[in-house]
């Protein structure tokens, strides 16, 4: 429980990256940026987040987990402080996208790996909760950030957010302690259990590449539609006629539903297969996108975008739970970090394209139709995923 609480403090403030749409108009006005410029900033932030995730396994096996989390919270706080003083596109890109994104990625994978080394019967639910911390952070942060921008201005808001990242990260360090929770090699008990279940422990890297690529493609498609919603939800709702306060409230509601979907997706993996959960998730997302094309109103946009985001949330939570069930616990960080490369590519595809299409047409309708096609492809490819594993290790976890 102590380590789960530490993961909460480490990741929750970084989750405000998913409330990025709250800053859109303020940043555009302050720095004379276009919507496509903002798409690039969000896209690069996710690239650096994925980079941090892939750096994390190389770092947390050499430094103590407390040292890693200390470095990440300081890096994130410095990035937001620099972003608060930005005078143009490039300075905002360096502070917010590079430093803030990099710190968040390392913290995310480190916290996930720490939690996955703790024995639990509900591995899917635990992993769903950890990946749900990011949209949960956005749900809590969106109304606070929106209020802060109005009352104190964008620069002071970013500076305050940096202070929250720093303090919350230090609390996570205190909860984990300074000793190293993440071994370079699996513990004898874990290795013996995995050997009995027929799961190999390579000296480096990871196993089951064909399965990994199948999960990664389905995850990529869900993330493409979901990240477009998360990065520009306020702008999309406004383009369909919603007011400023309604759009901020919509952002909080949507990210809250995504957080719930991530937790639920992990919980479902304790009961169903990847094929069933991910296929149903894409179908749910497709239904939301079609609703918005048929009834383009602010109220429908609120619920339709929530459904699209929830589809991504279900896939994200089930992917984390699926990794915990199909791979050894000591490989979780490596597999998850590589899976999020697809998340990174997704963030620089449809969200950036959506921003460009909006600048060109002053509408998000074309982007919503692209999301429809993406989710249809996701449904078809989800059928190629495997059934629920029946190894001895999985049976032991379910008892």
pLDDT along the chain (399 residues), means of 10: 84 85 84 82 84 87 86 94 92 93 90 75 75 80 87 92 94 78 51 45 59 91 83 80 82 83 88 91 94 89 90 90 81 82 78 78 83 92 81 42
Find out whether 228 and 254 touch, Cβ atoms under 8 Å.
no
The gap between the terminal CA atoms of the chain, to the nearest Å, is 20
**How high is the pLDDT of residue 156?**
94
According to the model, what pLDDT value does residue 194 have?
46
pLDDT, residue 205, reads 53
Which pLDDT belongs to residue 390? 62
Chain-centroid distance of CA 235 in Å reads 20
Helices (H), 327-364: 332-347, 350-361
- Residue 340, both tokens: 């999020």
pLDDT reported for residue 90? 93
Q: What pLDDT sits at residue 179?
A: 61
Name 308's Cβ contacts closer than 8 Å, sequence gap at least 6: 225, 226, 229, 285, 288, 289, 371, 375
> CA 137 to CA 11: how far, in whole Å?
8
pTM of structure? 0.73
For the beta carbon of residue 151, count every other beta carbon within 10 angstroms. Answer: 9
pLDDT of 180: 58
Asked whether the beta carbons of 38 and 27 are under 8 A apart, the reply is: yes
What span, in angstroms and rounded, lies between the C-alpha atoms of 246 and 325?
A: 40
Domain ranges of the chain: 2-178+192-398
Residue identified by tokens 């019967």 is: 121
Contact 255, 312 (CB under 8 A): no
Sign of torsion, CA 49 54 59 64?
A: positive
The CATH number of 2-178+192-398 is 1.20.1250.20
């Amino acid at each position: 429980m102590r380590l789960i609480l530490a993961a909460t403090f480490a990741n929750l403030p970084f989750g405000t990256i998913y409330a990025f749409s709250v800053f859109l108009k303020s940043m555009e006005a302050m720095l004379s940026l276009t919507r496509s410029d903002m798409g690039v900033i969000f896209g690069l932030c996710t690239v650096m987040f994925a980079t941090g995730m892939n750096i994390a396994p190389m770092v947390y096996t050499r430094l103590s987990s407390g040292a890693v989390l200390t470095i990440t919270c300081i890096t994130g706080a410095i990035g937001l402080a620099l972003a608060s003083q930005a005078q143009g596109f490039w300075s905002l890109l360096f502070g917010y996208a590079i430093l803030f994104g990099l710190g968040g990625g390392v913290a995310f994978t480190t916290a996930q790996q720490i939690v996955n080394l703790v024995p639990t019967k509900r591995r899917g639910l635990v992993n769903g909760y950890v990946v749900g911390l990011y949209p949960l952070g956005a749900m809590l942060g969106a109304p606070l950030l929106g209020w802060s921008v109005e009352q104190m201005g964008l620069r002071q808001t970013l500076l305050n957010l940096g202070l929250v990242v720093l303090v919350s990260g230090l609390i996570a360090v205190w909860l984990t302690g300074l000793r190293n929770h993440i071994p370079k090699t699996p513990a004898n008990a874990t290795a013996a259990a995995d050997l009995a279940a027929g799961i190999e422990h390579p000296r480096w890297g990871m196993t089951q590449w064909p399965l990994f690529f199948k999960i990664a493609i389905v995850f990529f498609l869900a993330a493409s539609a979901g990240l477009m919603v998360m990065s520009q939800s306020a702008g999309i709702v406004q383009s369909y006629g919603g007011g400023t306060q309604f759009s901020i409230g919509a952002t909080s509601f949507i990210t809250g539903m995504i957080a719930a979907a991530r937790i639920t997706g992990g919980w479902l993996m304790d009961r169903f297969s990847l094929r069933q959960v991910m296929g149903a998730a894409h179908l749910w997302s497709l239904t939301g996108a079609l609703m918005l094309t048929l009834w383009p109103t602010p109220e429908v946009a609120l619920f339709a975008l929530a459904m699209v985001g929830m589809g991504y949330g279900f896939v994200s939570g089930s992917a984390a739970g699926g990794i915990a069930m199909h791979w050894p616990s000591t490989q979780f960080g490596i597999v998850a970090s590589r899976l999020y490369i697809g998340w990174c590519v997704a963030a620089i595809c449809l969200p950036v394209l959506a921003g460009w299409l909006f600048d060109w047409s002053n509408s998000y309708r074309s982007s919503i139709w692209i999301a429809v096609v993406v989710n249809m492809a996701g449904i078809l490819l989800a059928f190629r995923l495997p059934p629920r594993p029946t190894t001895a290790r999985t049976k032991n976890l379910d008892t």
